[in-house]
Structure formats: structure tokens, C-alpha cells
């Protein structure tokens, strides 16, 4: 079954040995839990796609303990070097041209000539990556199309029996995935809003195009419109709740009869981001308990981390292919 490892030095050593042996290990990062496999091992990478039920055309991020290690597999531009110095370790993923000698398996990058690389900010993740000594491919540790996990318990809900182990490093502080920035073309293109705000990237890289967000089916194959989907329908920009709806609140809310999950009483976007996926999961569970008809999500300002929150909420509310 699935071993639950504490993030002690023994736990990290065990997790690293499993990864080096080709097994899958979920591990905490500052953004969300990742479903890790040795990125240089084609069978391990194929097992990641199988465990998630992820389409094989959707490439994976490779994770490294340092920028130097990452840049062994991709060719950094001067902006990439500046962004890496500013934001790594941290919630930023850079898409760069793959080096010809890159160790990363071709299926990890879905056959593209670019590779997404990231140095995560969580100390346990860095210790694990250092111990593995190879790039670790890791998508979020959820079933494809579902809500990303921000605790080890969420990972077990999604993938128990499908991963060799979960390294429990507590609750993810950021709670949303990394920002994905494509630096492989003439001009930087933001492919996914995430833990590093577009505004803070723009302070270093001028003329970032936001054109990749939302229409990313071509440039970032993972940006399907329906994603992060709870079982219940989600209604956006709700200013009141109908009977039978649960509420995802952002600040004071006129309490109705249904359950309320407060993202942030003080309307703090950092706090709200860190609680978003938890809230969607909680309301979904409440929905089963007390038969809710849906989730009413209060409006969130579309600035800073609010853009990443709104992106995830729009996907949670999007019509689902196949109705589920």
C-alpha cells in the first residue's frame, strides 16, 4: 500500500531511495503536493501519467534543488537567470529550451523541445531533491481534472494505493500551484497564474504577455478549461446564497442556511489562496453530508494572487466534458 513518511531525515532518505528505484512518491512543496517520479526514468514517468489518469500530451514540470541543477537540462536566457535569482527557490516554473544532452525523459516533456523547470521553496522538498540527485518530474498529486492537494491527507484521498509513499511535510503554505512562465520565445508568455504574481514578474521581465493564460491549450497543454473540479457545481461572483448552496466566502457574508467556508475574514489574498483548495474540498464533503445543490463563490478582486484564485475558480465552475 502507500507508506506515510514523516519529513524526518529517515523519511527523506527513504523517499529518495524509493524515487531512485523508480517508484512514485508524493511530496509536499510550498505550492501543492507533487506526485514525484524520477524524471530520467521513462517507466517512472509513464507511471505518473497512469496514476493520475493524465493525458500523455500534457507535459510535466521537472523539479531541482538549485538553479544550477535546473540549468543543466535547459538553456537559460538572461531573463531566466534574473527571474531564477529573484524567485527561486519558490513558486515559479520556467519553460525553456531543452538542452540536447538533457537527462529528462522525452515523455516527461510530452515530446516538446521545451522543458518546464522549477526549484521549489519548501525545505523538505529541497532536502528530498538533493538526496535524489536527479530531476524529479511532479505534477500536482491529484487525479487529472480534480482539486490539487494541499495536505498529505488530500493526497491519500486521491491516490492511495497508486503511490509507494507520501512524504508528509504539513500543509502547503501557498496553497496554489506555481506560476508558469514560457521564456522559450521572443517574449515572455504567462501560461498559468500562480504563487508568484504577474505584477512581481513584470518588475523584472518587461512586456510579459498574458496571452497564454486561459487559451493555453496550444502552448501549455495542461490548461484545460475544466479543472480543479469539485463534484458540486460552482456559481461565481455570488453576492448571496440560494437555499441549499454552500458558500465560499471572502470577507463578511450575510449568513444563510447552508455551510460557509471563510477564505479570509480580513480579505487577505495570501490567506485566501492558501485556503482555496481546502475550502472547495470541504464544501464538497459537506455537500455529500447535507445534500447541497452547489457552491456560491463570493467575488475576489482580480489583482495579485487574486488572479490565480479567480483562474482556479473559473476552471472549477467550467462545464465538464462528459458531465463529470
Displacement of CA 266 from its chain's centroid (Å)? 25
Displacement of CA 28 from its chain's centroid (Å)? 11
- Selected from 11, 34, 37, 65, the binder of ligand TXA by CB under 6 A is 34
Output the smallest distance, CB 125 to ligand TXA, in A: 8
Displacement of CA 282 from its chain's centroid (Å)? 18
Cell 505584477 maps to which residue?
199
Q: Which stretch binds ligand TXA (CB under 6 A): 77-85, 132-140, 150-158, 296-304?
A: 132-140
- Selected from 29, 105, 140, 310, the binder of Mg ion by CB under 5 A is 140
Cell 514523516 maps to which residue?
6
- Selected from 22, 214, 221, 304, the binder of ligand TXA by CB under 6 A is 221
Q: Which residue is nearest to ligand TXA (CB)?
A: 222
Assess contact for 154 and 166: CB atoms under 8 A.
no
Alpha helices in the chain (DSSP H): 9-20, 42-52, 67-70, 78-87, 123-132, 152-159, 198-202, 269-290, 305-317
- Does 274 contact ligand TXA by CB under 6 A? no
- Does 59 contact ligand TXA by CB under 6 A? yes
Query: What's the DSSP call for residue 57?
Result: T
Return the one option of Mg ion, ligand TXA, none that residue 29 interacts with (CB less than 5 to 8 A, by type).
ligand TXA
Return the one option of ligand TXA, Mg ion, none that residue 58 interacts with (CB less than 5 to 8 A, by type).
ligand TXA
Q: How far apart are CA 324 and CA 322, in angstroms?
A: 6
Cell 504574481 maps to which residue?
197
Cell 507520501 maps to which residue?
166
| 3-state secondary structure at position 112 | coil
Q: Which is nearer to Mg ion, 60 or 238 (CB)?
A: 60
Output the smallest distance, CB 250 to ligand TXA, in A: 22
Footprint on this chain of ligand TXA (rule: CB under 6 A): 29, 31-32, 34, 58-61, 93, 95, 109, 112, 114-116, 118, 120, 138-140, 177-178, 180, 182, 191-192, 219-223
Amino acid at each position: 500500500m502507500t507508506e506515510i513518511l514523516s519529513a524526518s531525515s529517515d523519511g527523506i532518505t527513504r523517499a529518495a531511495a524509493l524515487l531512485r528505484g523508480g517508484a512514485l512518491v508524493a511530496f509536499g512543496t510550498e505550492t501543492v503536493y507533487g506526485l514525484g517520479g524520477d524524471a530520467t526514468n521513462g517507466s517512472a514517468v509513464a507511471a505518473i501519467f497512469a496514476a493520475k489518469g493524465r493525458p500523455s500530451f500534457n507535459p510535466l514540470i521537472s523539479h531541482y534543488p538549485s538553479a544550477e541543477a535546473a540549468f543543466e537540462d535547459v538553456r537559460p536566457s538572461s531573463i531566466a537567470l534574473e527571474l531564477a535569482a529573484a524567485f527561486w527557490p519558490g513558486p515559479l516554473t520556467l519553460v525553456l529550451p531543452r538542452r540536447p544532452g538533457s537527462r529528462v525523459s522525452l515523455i516527461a516533456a510530452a515530446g516538446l523541445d521545451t522543458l518546464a523547470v522549477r526549484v521549489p521553496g519548501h525545505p523538505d522538498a529541497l532536502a528530498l531533491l538533493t538526496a535524489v540527485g536527479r530531476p524529479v518530474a511532479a505534477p500536482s498529486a491529484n487525479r487529472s481534472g480534480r482539486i490539487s492537494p494541499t495536505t498529505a491527507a488530500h493526497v491519500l484521498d486521491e491516490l492511495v494505493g497508486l503511490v509507494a509513499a507520501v512524504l508528509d511535510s504539513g500543509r502547503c503554505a501557498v496553497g496554489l500551484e506555481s506560476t508558469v512562465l514560457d521564456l522559450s520565445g521572443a517574449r515572455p508568455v504567462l501560461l498559468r497564474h500562480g504563487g508568484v504574481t504577474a505584477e512581481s514578474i513584470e518588475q523584472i521581465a518587461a512586456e510579459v504577455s498574458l496571452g497564454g493564460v486561459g487559451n493555453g491549450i496550444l502552448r501549455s497543454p495542461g490548461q484545460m478549461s475544466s479543472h480543479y473540479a469539485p463534484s458540486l457545481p460552482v456559481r461565481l461572483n455570488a453576492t448571496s446564497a440560494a437555499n441549499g448552496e454552500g458558500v465560499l466566502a471572502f470577507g463578511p457574508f450575510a449568513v444563510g442556511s447552508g455551510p460557509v467556508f471563510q477564505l479570509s475574514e480580513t480579505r487577505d489574498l495570501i490567506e485566501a489562496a492558501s485556503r482555496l483548495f481546502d475550502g472547495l474540498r470541504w464544501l464538497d464533503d459537506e455537500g455529500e453530508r447535507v445534500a447541497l445543490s452547489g457552491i456560491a463563490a463570493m467575488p475576489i478582486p482580480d489583482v495579485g494572487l487574486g488572479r490565480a484564485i479567480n483562474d482556479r475558480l473559473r476552471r472549477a465552475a467550467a462545464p465538464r466534458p462528459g458531465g463529470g
